[in-house]
């Protein structure tokens, strides 16, 4: 396996959180020799994101104070700058949430010594195939579908029908 420099590794870790890496790149992360490095890169990323959020908050506070000095004319500027800063902060916080989740997974992996499923879409595909196979078996063996079966199949089309299931329509 090729040795990856620290900047490339950090970029790889960030791309992994975004689910934008190739299987060969994921293998680099999954190599047990890189687990602690992966953890350190995630901790560094969390620290960087926290600093960005703090910087945004500071800039927002400075802009608010500066625009307040403008009186009524500054009110609109305050609202607009707060909206922009809020959008930027939310974007970073959303990404940080995913980084924190990945960090939890890597920490668990280090503690247990067991590999994690680093790509959540693998599980989505697995469950899609399972539900489709369930439907095909029901058809193949000419079994009558229950309301639960139908609701499960509807979930493949992003429709949530489980709330409509009652004891009456299960019979």
Neighbours of 11 (CB within 10 A): 15
For the chain, percent of residues with pLDDT exceeding 90:
73
User: pTM for the whole thing?
Assistant: 0.67
For residue 170, the model assigns a pLDDT of: 80
For residue 118, the model assigns a pLDDT of: 58
- Specify whether the CB–CB gap between 116 and 30 falls below 8 A: no
Report domain extents, the chain: 6-117, 121-170
Distance (Å, whole) CA 117 – CA 45: 21
What sign has the CA pseudo-torsion 13, 17, 22, 27?
positive
pLDDT at 119 over 70: no
pLDDT digits 0-9 by tens, 1-43: 568 899 999 999 999 999 888 888 989 999 999 999 999 999 9
């Amino acid at each position: 396996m090729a040795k990856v420099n620290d900047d490339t590794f950090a970029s790889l870790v960030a791309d992994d959180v975004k689910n934008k890496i190739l299987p060969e790149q994921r293998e680099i992360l999954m190599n047990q020799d890189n687990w602690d490095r992966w953890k350190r890169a995630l901790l560094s990323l969390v620290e960087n994101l926290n600093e960005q959020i703090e910087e945004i908050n500071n800039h927002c506070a400075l802009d608010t104070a500066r625009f307040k000095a403008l009186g009524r004319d500054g009110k609109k500027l305050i609202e607009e700058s707060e909206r922009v800063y809020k959008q930027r902060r939310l974007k970073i916080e959303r990404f940080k949430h995913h980084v924190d989740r990945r960090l939890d997974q890597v920490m668990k992996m280090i503690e247990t010594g067991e590999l994690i499923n680093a790509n959540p879409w693998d599980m989505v595909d697995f469950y899609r195939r399972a539900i489709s196979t369930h439907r095909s078996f029901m058809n193949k063996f000419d079994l009558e579908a229950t309301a639960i079966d139908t609701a499960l199949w509807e979930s493949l089309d992003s429709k949530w029908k489980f709330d409509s299931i009652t004891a009456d329509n299960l019979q």
